[in-house]
Homo-oligomer: A and B are copies of this chain.
Amino acid sequence: MTASLKLGIAGLGTVGSGVVRLIEENGTVLAERTGRPLVVSAVSARDRRKDRGLSLEGVRWYDDPLAMAAEEDLDIIVELVGGSDGIALDIVRTALEQGKSVVTANKAMMAHHGTELARLAESNQAALAYEAAVAGGIPAIKVLREGLAANQFVRIHGILNGTCNYILSTMRDTGREFGEVLAEAQKLGYAEADPSFDVDGIDAAHKLALLTALAFGTEVDFDSIQMEGIRSISSMDIAYAEELGYRIKLLGMARRKNGQIEQRVHPCMVPLDNPLSQVDGVFNAVLAEGDFSGPIMIEGAGAGEGPTASAVVADLIDIARGLKLPPFAVPADKLERAVPLESDAHFGAYFLRLLVVDRPGVIADIATALRDEEISVEALLQRGRAPGEAVPLVIVTHETGEAQVLRALNRIEELDSCLQEPRFIRIESS
């Protein structure tokens, strides 16, 4: 058995405490699997007196995490402070500059500074591992970077935010509206007091940016992600989806198209024969399609103390076992600068939901707007009759360009008979 691996953990919130607990509980089997015991040698957190239910006897306490990051005696710094910039970024830079390996769960930081940090890690012969930053306990990074490394990726699809998936699943199960389910999710601790990161798609986009870089060998490019959250999804949309044979999911999607990189996060109608449609509740899933492997899906808990700690410690085990790969699979200097696909270049089928006055000629006006943009209609649903009143009208299109759909909807919105901004949801193929 070689010398122990000395860890300094910055941040002792839910995940940090979970990591300490895991190393304590599973220490024996970890040492067998790595040949090197993992030892928590130092920690740094805001409040030393807080009771975390952890025995930190013999563990050095640092009030200043930067001092800990610079400590020569430590082998790996585990950054669990969070936040895209500020102290987290300083901790990681300090450690890497000294050639100390870093394990982090910080998706925001990696999404904004991933390429730079990868370069820094590589030039200092340090590992920079971030399995816990994407989809919690699911080893998605390892599966893309190693398990499917023989493939050129056709596309990556994922349910990357458990809060949104919980809200959408619950809306479907209960028929309740977004606001009500969100409030309940906040009470249950599944959503933050400020839910914007989750429900507006930002968190999913952070994770997607990392998966894209890894899969396509491009620099991390969070800013180019086309992003749309789930606030505008109504129980009516969910009911129509059900009727049409779809489930509404917030998906993160990436692919290479004509040399450009397409990255999108938005609600989708997912057909029931796509395995992502079956992933419910707080679960996350990543569906990677390799040119040789075909589609491979991995599903599990996307957050929480245990699953996230499992991912952090898996990274520690890799380092203990001597695995040191470039963070994005190829050396950072070889990552291509991604050319983003224009946001309206998407091509696919669309679900359109309008609120219109029920009177003669309305459907003809709408059909004309669609025809003029060469959009062909697969289904048109109008429920009941209410002459002179407002009624919902749902249209499912055949595959068409997004630019055409947007132009047609602009024109439809200007019709007197159209009472509300038209809504649309993209339909994913299976």
Contact = CB atoms under 8 A, between A and B. Distances in A.
Interface string A135-150: 0011100110011111
B137 A294 contact: yes
Interface in A295-318: 295-301, 304, 306-307, 309-314, 316-318
A417 B169 CA distance: 49
A220 interface: no
A291 interface: yes
A293 B322 CA distance: 23
| Chain A, interface residues (CB within 8 Å), range | 35 or more
Nearest to A28: B152
A148 B146 CA distance: 14
A226 to B, nearest CB: 26
Contacts of A323: 146, 321-323
Contacts of A296: 137-139, 298-301
Interface stretch (A29-37, A74-82, A418-426): A29-37
Contacts of A149: 30, 33, 313-314, 317
Given A278-B278, A297-B300, A299-B297, A150 B292 contact: no
Q: Which of A150, A295, A312, A318 has the most CB of B within 10 A?
A: A150
B306 A301 contact: no
Contacts of A304: 294
Given A29-B152, A278-B275, A292 B22 contact: yes
Given A292-B306, A293-B307, A296-B138, A314 B278 contact: no
A213 to B, nearest CB: 13
Contacts of A147: 131, 139, 142-143, 314
A32 B217 contact: yes
Interface string A10-29: 00000000100010011001
A300 B323 CA distance: 26
B293 A26 contact: no
Contacts of A299: 275, 296-299
A330 interface: yes
A151 interface: yes
B334 A32 contact: yes
A233 interface: no
A230 interface: no
A309 B33 contact: no
A137 B301 CA distance: 23
A142 B144 CA distance: 11
Given A139-B143, A150-B314, A293-B301, 20 more contacts: A26-B151, A26-B152, A29-B217, A32-B330, A32-B334, A142-B147, A143-B143, A143-B298, A146-B146, A146-B314, A146-B323, A149-B317, A151-B310, A278-B278, A292-B307, A296-B299, A296-B301, A297-B298, A298-B299, A321-B325
